[in-house]
A and B are shown apart, each in its own frame.
Chain A
Amino acid sequence: MSNFLYLFRGGEESFEKLSQEEKQAHMQVWGTWMGKLQEKGQLLDGFPLEADGKVVHSKGDMVTNGPYAEGAELVGGYLIVSAKDMDGAIEISKGCPIFDYEGSTIEVREILTMDNPY
């Protein structure tokens, strides 16, 4: 088993368009999906990220606001899941509710370790 990092990008615009009720309803869907991963022991960690941030350059000589990326490229949140291999991690990601928002993607990266930290 290996651990994989999911980086969620995009979809903010279509999320913003939803009504308060629809947003609440969609949180149910997220909760259910996460709950299932947790039951199977596949979910290790995960949080949403604030859109604003800073970028630190050259040991702090320069700190800029950012990252000024287009909405589609901003990382909106991350998850760490446990899967057999890359194919398994991709398979798990397919059911993710992030895809309900138009234009969103999941970048799947294997986390390199000498031993399993989790």
Chain B
Amino acid sequence: MLGWASPIYMEQQLNNTVTHLFRNEYGRIIALLTSKYGVSHIEKIEDAVQDTFLKAMRIWGYQKIPDNPTAWLYKVANNGLLDKLRRAKKMSYTADENSHFEATTEASEFYSNTEITDSQLKLIFACCHPSLSKEHQLVLSLKLIGGFSNKELSDALLKKKETVAKSFTRAKKKFKEEVQLLQIPVQMGLQSRLFVVLQVIYLLFSEGYAATSGEQILKRDICYEALRLALLLKKNPYCQHPNLNALIALICFHASRFDARINDAGELVTLEFQDRRLYNKELMAIGSAHLEQAGSADTLPSKYHLEAAVSYHHCTAPTFKETDWATILKLYQLQVQTQYSPMAALNSIIPYAKVHGPKKGLEALEAWKNKNDYKQVALFYTIRAELLAELKKEFKPDIRKAIALTENVLVRRYLKKKLE
């Protein structure tokens, strides 16, 4: 066990804080500066904010991170941007106007939470402008608002790192050319973009919930950021949609299990062994309330509906054994039928094996394998190993393959234990 003063603990603390700040403040400052100076300066804004974080990190290598670094970060980024703009001689306004800018910033925008969050939403909606391709919309949003690294982005979009890096460059160019103003369209225009915005939030949450790399199983900051953005949308009268309620429900149900997923030793705990008393009842209640509001009689349930419903059943089952696997299987099968994806098919195997037994489960898994390429999918090998183990067959080669395909340190540690 780590003590409070051990270097490893401090290391994690620092890392958490730097990462935390990066997550929380990056998108916020980008959004503020973009709504202030315009989309046409997006590259300079990005540079300025990145420079600021670099500077901050250099200082934080030497010193403790101050209690409230936000003000410092914002000011340095703003000044850095003004310098860059001045140097580029692209400033159409005079120095007087500059000082006016700074004054209003500090007085109102910066200290008013609603303004800040609004500019973030404004930026997401601008990123989801219909003149941009869907991929560009997602790449821009996740990079600029979520502060995603190329690695995280490539995991979220299932694309190569180099591909997403190029895509981001192109997306920014398009963004500058096609999107002039950060205006939230009203009514109809807003609804048409809403679906992409929901997907952005969903991807944000997914990366946070199942961190693909690093030493954390959860990036809570990203998860809460996703929830915060979803709840903000909920306040906008034009954003009301059953899918939004379903998404909020989904996030809440997943989030309610945060504390149970990691034990005191910092190890991953799977659903079967989680202490269900640790589930957050408050979040479960918020989730249930939103799921009830998410009813849509005229349309098929969205993937958010189905995933929220699955998560609801997991949260509310008194024990792992008493889980309503039959219903969960139905929900997965519905998802496979209506919104087919190789991963949905793979996930459906788990409840299928619970209902029909590991032997049938293994057969179904092999059947899916013939239709999809799961060679690079760790989950495939993990599930197969699980089923083989239940059948008392050799499962270790599959675990080894899963380990080789897993980048998250905690998941790898969890899998290695199974080899012992």
A residues with CB within 8 A of B: 19-21, 23-32, 34-36, 39, 46-48, 77, 79
Contact = CB atoms under 8 A, between A and B. Distances in A.
9 contacts: A19-B149, A21-B151, A27-B15, A29-B11, A31-B60, A35-B11, A36-B7, A48-B59, A48-B61
For chain A, what secondary structure do more than half of its interface residues adopt (helix, strand, loop), or is it mixed?
helix
For chain B, what secondary structure do more than half of its interface residues adopt (helix, strand, loop), or is it mixed?
helix
Interface size class, chain B: 20 to 34
Interface in B1-55: 5, 7-8, 10-11, 14-15, 18-19, 22, 50, 53-54
A77 B15 contact: no
B58 interface: yes
A21 B11 CA distance: 15
B50 A32 contact: no
Given A20-B149, A23-B57, A31 B11 contact: yes
B93 interface: no
Contact of A27 (B7, B10, B50, B57): B57
Interface of B: 5, 7-8, 10-11, 14-15, 18-19, 22, 50, 53-54, 57-63, 149-151
A51 B151 CA distance: 30
Given A20-B50, A32-B7, A39-B5, A27 B60 contact: yes
B59 A24 contact: no
A47 B63 contact: yes
Nearest to B12: A28
Contacts of A77: 58, 62
Nearest to A46: B62
A35 B59 contact: no
Contacts of A28: 11, 14-15, 18
Contacts of A20: 22, 50, 53, 149
Nearest to A39: B5
Contacts of B61: 26-27, 30-31, 34, 48
B62 A48 contact: yes
Contact of A23 (B10, B54, B59, B63): B54
Contacts of B15: 24-25, 27-28
Contacts of B50: 20
Nearest to B7: A32
Contact of A24 (B22, B63, B151): B22
